[in-house]
Amino acid sequence: MTRVRYISLTVLFDLLAQIVAWYAFYMVKFEWQWLDTSTTVAPAMVFIPALILGVYWVVLFAIFGLYKNLYLISRLDEILRVSKITIIGTLILFFFLFIDQLNWNAGNIGNAKYFAITYWVLVLISTSFFRIFIRSVQKRQAKKGIGLHRAIIIGTGKNAIEVEANLNRNRILGLDVIGYVKTGLEPEKECSEIEKPILGDIKEIKNIVLENQVDDVIVALEQEESRKLIQIMDQIDMPNVSVKILPDFYQMIIGLNQTNQIFGLPLIDVLPDPMPMWEKVAKRLVDILASLILLIIASPVMLFLLVLIPLTSKGGAIYSQIRVGLFGKNFTIYKFRTMVADAEKVSGPQLASQNDPRITPLGNFMRKTRLDELPQLWNVLKGDMSLVGPRPERPFFVDQFKKQIPLYSRRLRVRPGITGWAQVKWKYDESFDDVVEKTKYDLFYVENMSLRMDLKILINTIATVILGKGQ
């Protein structure tokens, strides 16, 4: 069963669970009158509220990431995740949505507590029951070899053979090894017991993953091959592809990845996504609201610059350029023009320098105050960019930097931003060394991004704009 089908089935069962929970709450409250209520409603009138609440819970579960990492998750972990989110969801319902209806006072506050606790228990039991049922079916299918994730093993030595042998013994892990990837290990150290096909070498990892629709990549290198780990991680830095490594290599990647779960092999499941789903949703909502408000507030300044820029230098006011965005997808970025027209017509793509002769006097002022970035609020509103994130670069430079800077492509795991950690901590790119240093800051942001960090970056950026310290 595919990832999409698992998610769809879980959503459907969650919706059903909430309808069951609401009907159970109706029985407890009105039919059995366990909560000492004298009012009643017709059973037919319960379905619409139950359906609305079902949609509410599904949306809440999605925001808090309960539809991520569903494949063969521990049933205990499932219950713990559900219990925490249902507590939050129940509090939201009773303290915000129903507060006027309950008309709480000293006399009925006790009943309100019973309502909330009873409803939460029913939601928890119902949701957990249906989710445990789905996971049990998944595990039973996995034991029979049904619905397994397609996996490849990087390495052809004894470690690789041991990993496959363990996977075959523990089908509950849900991984089906379809082949191996050579690492250039000396022939005498390669294991002759390999039965699955060798799909290629480490230079072809990305194509192998895409062509074979691989879900999981298992890195099983020999001790003397440890230096190749960064090269491998750089190539398989793709969305929806899980990377698992042997524990011996944990210290090598600490700070670049986060561990989420240790399987029985043991393997470490490396997750490149530190920001919870609810923070992602909140970040996107902030981007939309802030960019819309700022576009309205800044519209007089933008209109003034639209007229002033062509008057002070030859060329149009708006400059557009292709940049590389989320997961390597190209998009068109918009800026107020700060350089002379056709600045790179003869020289070709170049990094700007601090005293770049191509920058106009007005352009120099706009760069110091970051006014040239205002049109990018439209990119943020569209979803091409975020307010905070690594600065987007041109395809010409991205292709170069990916070859020269290890893990540079990890910057593409998040939306690029108008401002970022590298912008507030490092100077303008004037050389390749500057790019390397800024990449370190960008990678730090990618691996530690949070709403709190975004706020810190925005505050630093505002100070830069007010003080005119931009470049």
DSSP-derived secondary structure for 244-264: EE-GGGHHHHBTTBEEEEE-S
Q: So what's the pLDDT on residue 260?
A: 46
For residues 149 and 145, give the distance between their C-alpha atoms in angstroms, rounded to a whole number.
10
Strand, coil or helix: what is 470?
coil
Strand, coil or helix: what is 331?
strand
Q: What is the number of alpha carbons within 13 Å of residue 412 lying toward its C-beta?
A: 25
* Beta strands 216-219; 417-419: pairing state: unpaired
For residues 134 and 141, give the distance between their C-alpha atoms in angstroms, rounded to a whole number.
11
Q: So what's the pLDDT on residue 268?
A: 72
Q: Which helix (H) or strand (E) holds 83?
A: helix 75-92
Strand, coil or helix: what is 201?
strand
Q: So what's the pLDDT on residue 41?
A: 58
Q: Do 462 and 428 meet the contact criterion of CB atoms below 8 Å apart?
A: no
For residues 203 and 188, give the distance between their C-alpha atoms in angstroms, rounded to a whole number.
21
DSSP assignment, residue 407? T
Q: Do 247 and 272 meet the contact criterion of CB atoms below 8 Å apart?
A: no
| Burial environment of residue 439 by CB neighbours within 10 A (0 to 12, 13 to 18, 19 or more) | buried
Q: What is the number of alpha carbons within 13 Å of residue 465 lying toward its C-beta?
A: 13
| Residue 385 amino acid letter | M
**Residues linked to residue 181 through DSSP beta bridges, in sequence order:** 154, 200
**Residues linked to residue 398 through DSSP beta bridges, in sequence order:** none
pTM confidence score: 0.72
- Model pLDDT for residues 132-191, shown as the tens digit of each residue: 898 888 888 877 777 788 899 998 888 888 888 888 777 777 788 899 998 877 665 666
Characterise 252 by phi-psi region: left (phi > 0), alpha (psi -120 to 50), beta (else).
alpha
Q: What angle do CA 203, 256, 273 make, to 5 degrees?
A: 95
**Closest by Cα among 295, 383, 373, 278 to 334:** 373
For residues 159 and 221, give the distance between their C-alpha atoms in angstroms, rounded to a whole number.
7
- Provide Rg for the chain, Cα atoms: 27
- Model pLDDT for residues 441-452, shown as the tens digit of each residue: 888 888 888 898
Q: Please identify every stretch of the chain with a pLDDT value under 70, giving residue numbers as ranges.
A: 1-3, 29-45, 70-72, 97-112, 186-192, 247-267, 269-274, 343-355, 427-431, 468-471
| Residue 47 amino acid letter | F
For residues 176 and 360, give the distance between their C-alpha atoms in angstroms, rounded to a whole number.
60
- Rounded to 5 degrees, φ, ψ at 459 are -65, -45
Complete domains list, the chain, with CATH? 3-143 (no CATH), 149-271 (3.40.50.720), 277-467 (no CATH)
| Burial environment of residue 38 by CB neighbours within 10 A (0 to 12, 13 to 18, 19 or more) | exposed
